[in-house]
Each structure stands twice: as structure tokens, then as C-alpha cells.
Structure 1
Amino acid sequence: MKWMKIPLGPLQTNCYIVYNDQKECVIFDPGEEAAKLMAKIDGQRLKPLAILLTHAHFDHIGAVDKIRNQYKVPVYIHKQEETWLSDGMKNGSQNFLQYSITAAAAEHVISEETQLTFNDFVIHVMETPGHSPGSVSFYLEKEEIVVSGDALFQGSIGRTDLYKGSMDQLLKSIHTKLLSLPERTIVLPGHGPTTTIEEEMVSNPYLNGF
């Protein structure tokens, strides 16, 4: 199994594509620039199986509909944010951009921590709220990676001053969920460079003294 990171849009939100030897793939957070993303997918001759959203802020959903329609794949979102896809106030686009970025309703709503399986992709859904109430992280144990959305970054954590954000909740999510993963786990964050659980346990200043 391999993965690639594709920063998209004005906020350079990281979209991730995880793919296998059969060229099947799962897409995480297609935030913007659908044409650029499709060029990567088609250039590698990949066959998308699903779109998984860590949360529904506008910079993570901007290309959802175009990618979904192009490849006829389902979208997964947590139930706490299923209505955010169509609401520019909740997903932040109205406040930040003064116009709405929206997407059609997700085909699948995640209601609890669970395991998603797409052929040989086995993905554990971890509820990691705080940055937003429906934030989730996607852990691929065999590949030793976790797609953390905007919960945990290299040397930082997600902001909590947006709609229904909570610092206490975010810190609890990070410490009880993400930092419980094996230290060698590679963290694929929503923005910026990749890191590891070990690196953040040792050096992330926002996590000291919790």
C-alpha cells in the first residue's frame, strides 16, 4: 500500500490518496482544485473506491462533488457534521470567503467509531472531536498511518475558535485517541508536513502538561 499527499486550494489543505498494487484507492479530504486532483488520479491510473472526510470545513470539501461525480464513489462523513456539507455558515466558507462552498449529502454517515473496509483497505474510524464536533481520524493499522485532519499537526494542534470547537475536547481527543497509537505511526495532517506520534509526544509544545 502506498500513499501520496496533494496540497489543494488557497489554504493548501492536504488531500491524501492511499492506493494498492491493483491501483485501487481511497481519497481523504478532497478540498479544492478538482482538476489537479483528477490529473493525479488519472495520471496514476487509479480507481477510487470512496471519499472519506475527516470533517466538513470548507477547505476539506471543495472538490467533493466533482470527484464523487467523476468516479461514482460514495462519501463518508460523521453524523455531527452531515448537515455542514450544505451549510456555508457551519462549514466556515461564508465567514472566510463571503460565499458558500457546499457539497451534496454524503452517501454514508458515520455514527460511531467503527471499521470501514473497501476490498483490502481496512480503515479504523476514530472520533477525535475538538477542532470541530464531528472530526474523525482514519487509522490504517497495517500501513502504520493515521489521517488526522485538523486535530494534530507537526508541532501544533487544530484551532478551536471556529463553530462548535473546544480546546478541552481536542486535547482529550489527542491524548486518549491519537497518542494511544503506536509511536512509529506516521501522522498525515490536514495542513503542513507529516510527522509521527512519537515526535509529537516528545516535542509538541501544545501537548506538554496536559
Structure 2
Amino acid sequence: MKVIQMLVGQMGVFAYLVGCEATGEAVAIDPAGDEEQIVARAQAEGLKIVKIVNTHTHADHTCGNTKIKELTGAPIIAHEADAPHMDNAHNQSFAQMLGCSRLLPADETVKDGDVITAGQEVKLQVLHTPGHSPGCICLYTPGHVFTG
């Protein structure tokens, strides 16, 4: 499994690519901007983004979703408690302040205990960690915990 951390967006958010070295399938976690850079890095590493996952749905962590989805066709995934707020007026206004395109709603939702997969190697267990937002999550795989 390949893990790549990138500092992206106006708010300096860490985005991650978590990829299967056997198949090249990857998950993009919190693509908060610099979308072309994220996709180019994935391609340079031999990865194809097949899922977009947000640790929470505030615009500073989701404003890259629209462009990444447009470039890759990957579905957007968020926790079921946050998904209804993903493209609300507050988040849309925040996204505009950050210079981001219109936010899209989640294509899929997850809950505590679900496992998000990509290829043969990537298995990210969803840990519901409400607090920063009602649907905040961490993603666990042995040796790594991805937080937002």
C-alpha cells in the first residue's frame, strides 16, 4: 500500500492518496484544493483515483471534490451525519470565499465500522468521531489513522 501526503488549498489542509500498488486504484482523502496537482501526483505514482473520501464536510476539506470528480469520475463519500450538510448554503459560501467551485453532494455515505476499499490492499475502516462536525470520521488501516 502506498500513502502520499500533500499540503493543499488556501487553508493548508493535508490531503492523502492511499493506493493499492498491485492494481493502482487509490482513495483521495480530503482533496481541499490544488486538484490538478493531486491528480498529477496520483498519475506520477501510477495511481488512479477511484474514490474521494471526506473526513468531514466543511468546505476547507471538500472544495476540491468537484474538480477531482470531474477529472476522475470518482464518487464522493462522506459520513451519513454530514452528507446532508455537504452542499448547504453555509458551505457553498465558505467555498466561494476559498475560491472553489460549487460543492457537490455526496454520492455515497458511510457509517461507523464500514470499510472503504480500493484495489486489493486498501482497506480503510471508518471510525465515527463526532465533535468537529456531527459526521466527522477518521479512517484506520494498520499503521495509519487519517484524520481531518
TM-score tier (shorter): 0.7 to 0.9
Give the TM-score normalised by structure 1.
0.63
Q: Structure 1 residues 119 and 46 mapped into 2: Cα distance closer, same or farther (>3 Å)?
A: closer
Matches of 1:54 and 1:91, distance apart in 2? 18
Question: In the alignment, what sits opposite 1:66?
Answer: 67
Aligned 8 A contact 2:14 2:30 in 1: yes
Q: How does 1:99-138 map to 2 (within 5 A)?
A: 102-120=102-120, 121-138=122-139
Whole-Å separation in 2 of the counterparts to 1:26 and 1:98:
23
Counterpart for residue 39 of structure 2: 38
Aligned residue in 2 for 1:190: none
With CA pairs under 8 Å and 6+ residues apart, which has the higher RCO, 1 or 2? Answer: 2
Aligned residues of 2:5 and 2:14 also touching (Cα < 8 A): yes
Provide the TM-score with structure 2 as the length reference.
Answer: 0.86
Q: How big is the shift at 1:79?
A: 1.5
Give, in whole Å, the separation in 1 of the partners of 2:107 and 2:54.
Answer: 12
Kindly indicate whether residue 17 of structure 2 is the aligned counterpart of residue 17 of structure 1.
yes
Aligned to 1:66, the other structure's residue is in SS state helix
Work out the CA distance in 1 between the residues paired with 2:72 and 2:115: 23
Per the alignment, residue 145 of structure 2 pairs with 146
User: How well do the aligned residues superpose, as a CA RMSD in angstroms?
Assistant: 2.2
The residue type equivalent to 1:11 in the other structure is M
Distance 2:101 2:90 in 1: 10
Structure 2 unmatched runs, 5+: none
Structure 2 equivalent of residue 2 of structure 1: 2
Equivalenced residues, count: 146
User: Could you give the per-residue CA deviations for residues 36-85 of structure 1, whole angstroms, max 9, x where no partner exists?
Assistant: 21221222231112111100111111110111121111111011111222
Fraction of identical pairs, as percent: 24
Equivalence for 1:85:
86
Kept after mapping to 1: 8 A contact 2:8/2:33: yes
State whether residues 27 and 48 of structure 1, in contact with CA within 8 Å, keep that contact through their aligned partners in structure 2: yes
Check 1:27–1:99 CA distance in 2 against 1; reply closer, same or farther (3 A cut). Answer: closer
Q: CA deviation at 1:10?
A: 1.4
SS of the aligned residue for 1:73 comes to coil
Q: Say whether 1:51 aligns with 2:61.
A: no
Q: CA deviation at 1:90?
A: 4.7
Larger gyration radius, structure 1 or structure 2: 1
Give 1:3 deviation, angstroms.
0.7
Indicate conservation of the 8 Å contact 2:26/2:118, yes or no: no
Point out the structure with the larger helix share.
Answer: 1
Map of 1:176 onto structure 2: none
Change (3 A) 1:20 1:100: closer
**CA distance in structure 1 between the partners assigned to 2:20 and 2:139 by the alignment:** 17
1:3 partner letter = V
3-state SS in 1 of match to 2:90: coil
Task: Say if 2:28 is the partner of 1:27.
Answer: yes
Cα shift at 1:16: 0.3
- CA distance in 2 between counterparts of 1:90 and 1:109 reads 18
Shifted more, 129-138 versus 13-22: the winner is 13-22
